[in-house]
C-alpha cells in the first residue's frame, strides 16, 4: 500500500468515526439565519405560493400590520413580538396575563387613525385573586420595543374559572366603533342568554372603551349597555365589510355546529338554546339545547361541515388572486387545518372551497395584508406566519 492510498483510507475512516456518515452522506451545518420556505398550492382560478415569513412562534394568536411595514404578533403564553426587517423583537409593558389552555394574550388591532394617535388595542385573559379570569381589553402606544400609556378599557363583569372560550376578536365599524367578542366561558353556557352578563356576546364600544349612546340595549335596566348582540358561544372570526359595513362572524359550535353569522344589533343568535351541534363525548343532543332553530333567534348563514373549529376571518377586497375572489370570505380552521373560501350572494353561501388543506397545520388567524396578499398564523408550539400570494 502506497502512502497516497493509506492517506485516503485514513481520511475515510476518520469521517466514519467523527461524523457518523459515509462519503455519500454530507454533514449538515446550521444555517446562519432562518431561510424562507415556500411551496406552490393549487386553488380554483389561480395557483398560490405559500411562504413562511417567520417561524419559531409559540402559539401565535393574531397579527396586525403597522403603516411602516412592521408586523405585530401576539403569542398566547403572554408575549408580544414585532417583526422588523426580518428580525424578531419582544415588546415589553404588557399587563398581568393568566395563560392557561385557551386563555392568554390574544387579539391585537390598530386604531383606524393609528398614524395620528398611535393606539394599539390588545385583548387578554385577566386574573383575579381567586384564580379566576375575565376577557379584558387594553390600549397602548408603542415606543421602540415597549408599550407606553397603557389603559385598561374593558373587563367583562363576571370572572370565572380559567381556560375556555374567551372569544376576543376585534373589528372596527365604519363609524369608528370597536367590536369585541366575548365567549361564553365554557362552564356555564346559559350565560350567553343572560343580558346582565357579558359572556357569549359581541360588544360595541367607543375607541376609549365607553359605551356608544346608540347601542341597542342602552336604557334597558335589565341589560348591559356594551352588548351589541348575544347568544354566541365563542366568536373567533370577525370582520366588517369596508363598503357595506356588514358585520360577519364565525364561531365555534360544540361537536359540530360551527357557524357563519351576519350580525345585526340587538339580535339573539341562540346559543345554547339553539344549536346544530352535538354534545362532546357522544352523539347526543347538547344538554342545554331545545331545538335547531327557534322563532326570535337568528339562524346561521352557514354551518361548516364537517367540524371546522373556525378562527380568523378575512374578506378579499381586491382581484390580486382572481376577480372571482372579490368579496369572498376566508375562514381559518383549527381542527380542520384549512381555510374555507366562501362565495356569498344574497346572504347565502353558493360555494365553499378548501385552501391549504393539511398543508401548514392548525390555522389561528387569517388577514389580508397591505400588499393584498393573505397572511396566516398557525397555532402550534412552534407556530409560524405565512404569506400566501398568487403564483
Rounded to whole angstroms, the Cα distance separating 183 from 217 reads 19
* Active site (annotated) includes residue 232: no
Cell 432562518 belongs to residue: 34
CA 353 → CA 24, 267, 343, distances in Å?
44, 29, 9
Whole-number Å distance between alpha carbons of 319 and 186? 40
DSSP 278: B
Q: Strands 247-251 and 235-240: what pairing? A: antiparallel
- 124, 165, 232, 252: the catalytic one is 165
Which residue bears the cell 398564523? Answer: 377
Q: From the DSSP assignment, how many helices (H) and strands (E) are in the chain? A: 2, 25
CB atoms within 10 A of CB 187: 12
Determine whether 139 is exposed, middle or buried from the number of CB atoms within 10 Å of its CB (0-12, 13-18, 19+): buried
Backbone Cα Rg of the chain: 24
Catalytic center residues = 165
Amino acid at each position: 500500500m502506497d502512502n497516497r492510498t493509506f492517506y485516503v483510507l485514513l481520511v475515510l475512516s476518520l469521517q466514519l468515526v467523527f461524523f457518523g456518515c459515509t462519503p455519500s452522506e454530507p454533514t449538515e451545518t446550521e444555517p446562519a439565519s432562518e431561510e424562507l420556505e415556500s411551496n406552490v398550492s393549487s386553488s380554483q382560478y389561480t395557483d398560490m405560493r405559500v411562504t413562511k415569513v417567520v417561524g419559531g412562534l409559540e402559539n401565535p394568536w393574531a397579527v396586525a400590520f403597522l403603516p411602516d411595514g412592521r408586523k405585530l404578533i401576539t403569542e398566547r403564553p403572554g408575549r408580544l413580538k414585532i417583526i422588523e426587517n426580518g428580525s424578531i423583537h419582544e415588546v415589553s409593558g404588557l399587563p398581568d396575563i393568566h395563560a392557561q389552555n385557551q386563555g392568554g394574550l390574544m387579539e391585537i388591532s390598530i386604531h383606524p387613525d393609528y398614524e395620528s394617535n398611535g393606539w394599539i388595542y390588545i385583548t387578554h385573559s385577566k386574573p383575579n385573586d381567586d384564580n379566576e379570569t375575565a376577557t379584558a381589553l387594553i390600549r397602548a402606544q408603542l415606543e421602540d420595543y415597549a408599550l407606553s400609556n397603557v389603559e385598561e378599557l374593558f373587563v367583562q363583569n363576571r370572572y370565572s374559572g380559567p381556560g375556555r372560550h374567551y372569544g376576543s376578536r376585534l373589528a372596527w365599524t365604519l363609524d369608528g366603533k370597536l367590536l369585541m367578542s366575548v365567549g361564553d366561558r365554557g362552564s356555564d353556557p346559559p350565560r350567553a342568554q343572560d343580558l346582565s352578563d357579558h359572556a357569549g356576546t359581541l360588544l360595541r364600544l367607543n375607541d376609549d372603551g365607553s359605551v356608544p349612546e346608540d347601542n341597542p340595549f342602552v336604557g334597558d335596566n335589565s341589560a348591559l349597555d356594551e352588548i351589541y348582540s348575544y347568544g354566541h358561544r365563542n366568536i373567533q372570526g370577525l370582520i366588517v365589510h369596508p363598503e357595506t359595513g356588514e358585520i360577519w362572524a364565525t364561531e365555534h359550535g360544540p361537536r359540530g355546529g360551527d357557524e357563519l353569522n351576519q350580525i345585526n344589533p340587538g339580535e339573539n343568535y341562540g346559543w345554547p338554546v339553539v344549536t346544530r351541534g352535538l354534545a362532546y363525548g357522544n352523539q347526543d343532543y347538547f344538554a342545554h339545547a331545545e331545538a335547531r332553530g327557534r322563532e326570535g333567534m337568528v339562524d346561521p348563514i352557514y354551518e361548516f361541515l364537517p367540524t371546522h373549529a373556525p378562527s380568523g376571518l378575512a374578506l378579499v377586497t381586491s382581484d390580486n388572486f382572481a376577480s372571482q375572489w372579490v368579496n369572498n370570505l376566508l375562514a381559518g380552521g383549527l381542527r380542520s387545518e384549512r381555510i374555507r373560501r366562501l362565495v356569498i350572494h344574497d346572504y347565502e353561501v353558493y360555494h365553499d372551497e378548501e385552501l391549504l388543506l393539511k398543508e401548514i397545520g392548525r390555522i389561528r388567524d387569517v388577514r389580508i395584508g397591505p400588499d393584498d396578499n393573505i397572511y396566516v398564523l398557525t397555532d402550534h408550539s412552534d407556530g409560524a406566519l405565512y404569506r400566501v400570494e398568487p403564483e
